[in-house]
Structure formats: C-alpha cells, structure tokens
Amino acid sequence: MTAPVADAAAERSLPAAIQRMARVVYDEHAVDSLLQLIVSLAPVCIEPTDAASVSLLREGPRFETANATSDEVIDIDRVQYDTHEGPCVTAIDSGRPTLFDAAAPPEAWPNFTRVATGSGVASVLSMPLTLRDRTLGALNLYSHAPGAAAAWDRTTADEFVDHASVVLANAAAFADSTRTARQLEEALLTRDVIGQAKGILMAREGCDADAAFGRLRSMSQQANRKLREIAVEVVESTGHAPDAQE
C-alpha cells in the first residue's frame, strides 16, 4: 500500500523534474515547450511554491513574462515591469536570487508590495536564469503560504534553476541555428532566382550581367517591391517556374 505514495513522491522530486526537462525534443518549438515545462514543474518540486512564472529579458531592454501558471502572477509580473520594482527585475538586473517577504516588504517596492499583498502573496523568490555570466531572465516562485519567506527550499531551487538555465540555453541555441540555416537557404534561393532573371534579361535585351542586374534593381525601386519578387515575375514571364520555387 505504500508503493503508490513512494511513486508519487518520486514524480515530484528534483531528479524527476530534471529528467523531464532533459527529454524535451529540440525542434523549432523547443524553447516554448521548455518554458511551459519549467513553470509547471517548479511548483511540484520546490516548496512552498504554489505558482510560478518565467520572465525573459528582451532587447530594449524590456521584460516579458514568457510563461506562467496563472493570470494572477502575470499581472503581478507586469507591475514589476511597469514600475521597475520587485524581486523579478531586481534578480535580472543583479544576477542574484532576490526574496520578497510580505511581512517585511522593502520600502523601495511600494507598488509591487501593494499589488502582491492585495493578491494574498506571502513571498516571492526570483531566481536568475543565467549561463556563462549572461542573465537570460528569471524564474519567479510565488507562495501564498504564511511564513513562506523562511520556508523556501533554496538548495532545490538553486539546482533546479541551474539545470533549467542550461537546457533552456541549449534549446535557444538550437532554435537560433535552425533560424540561421533557414535564412541561409532563403538567401541561396533568392540568389538563384535573381541569377535566372538576369540571364533572361541578358538574352532578351542583349545586355551584360551588370546591366541586367541594374535593370532588375530599377524595376524593384520603381515598383517599391523586393528584388526577389521582381526576379520571380521575370522568370515566370517566360512561362517557366523559377527553380527557387521548385
């Protein structure tokens, strides 16, 4: 009769969470899948978390809640971004874990404190997601439990965030490489179809390659359209589909 309890405990353990993150398939949706998995696993294995969100640092710089377990924490995160006060933005700015205790709120965070305590939040622990000294964002752990500020399982939180940061960075690198490969492929296709169009204009107008390209560029500027679009139309005007479209 004790086996189901033991199994349930194992499923809620840090090793089980790490294994689940490691099993995410790297594809174009890997980053989104990992972010959702991270916020869903955090309340399961890090006590006394009952809600979580991931804030990412974007260009600008600006902050964005990528995933969250509830609309409540999304709203509380947004207050931090708008006022630049609270544990989340402080953790990202400093690169250090930051704790909020509703029983002893910092004077520097009046807007965040008002909204957080108004929602019944007792404590927030924001853990920076970092890799090679670069802060990617923060995992925000929320708890409504009285006395939560002194009850956080910091050891588990640290290890969880360390693994989450590495897996997330790897997924982001994979996504970037996939995006770069796609852009390169599109560039090659564009080069090919422009080459075909130049050849057609050279034969049609009896000009050299430079003059043919100048003609394409002029047509593009006059029509205020991309050079590739004009090249495709030139090729299609011969009654043949461009090789880049095959």
> What is the chain's Cα-based Rg?
27
| pLDDT on residue 244 | 44
The domains found in the chain, sorted by start residue, are 3-178 (3.30.450.40), 184-245 (1.10.10.10)
Distance CA 196, CA 238 (A): 11
Residue with tokens 């593009």: 220
Give pLDDT, residue 90: 96
Q: What is the pLDDT of residue 20?
A: 72
pLDDT at 73: 94
* Predicted pLDDT of residue 186: 63
Enumerate residues 6+ apart whose C-beta is below 8 A from 166.
131
Cα separations in angstroms, 31 against 38, 62, 66, 172? 10, 19, 10, 6
Strand partners, 155: none
**For the sheet containing 123-131, what is the strand order?**
62-68, 51-58, 134-143, 123-131, 98-101
CA distance 170 to 129: 13
pLDDT of residue 48: 96
pLDDT in tens, 65-89: 988 999 999 999 999 999 999 999 9
**pLDDT of the residue at 72:** 94
Residues across the chain: 246
From CA 221, how far away is CA 243, in angstroms rounded? 24
Indicate left, alpha or beta for 137 from its phi (over 0: left) and psi (-120 to 50: alpha): left
pLDDT beneath 50, residues of the chain: 1-10, 177-178, 181, 244-246
The whole-number pLDDT of residue 135 equals: 86
At 7 the pLDDT is: 42
Burial class (CB in 10 A: 0-12, 13-18, 19+), 33: middle
Q: Are 14 and 160 in contact (CB under 8 A)?
A: yes
Half-sphere exposure of 244 (CA within 13 A, CB side): 20
Q: Strand 123-131 relative to strand 62-68: parallel, antiparallel, unpaired?
A: unpaired
Residue 232 per-residue DSSP state? H
pLDDT given at position 62: 87
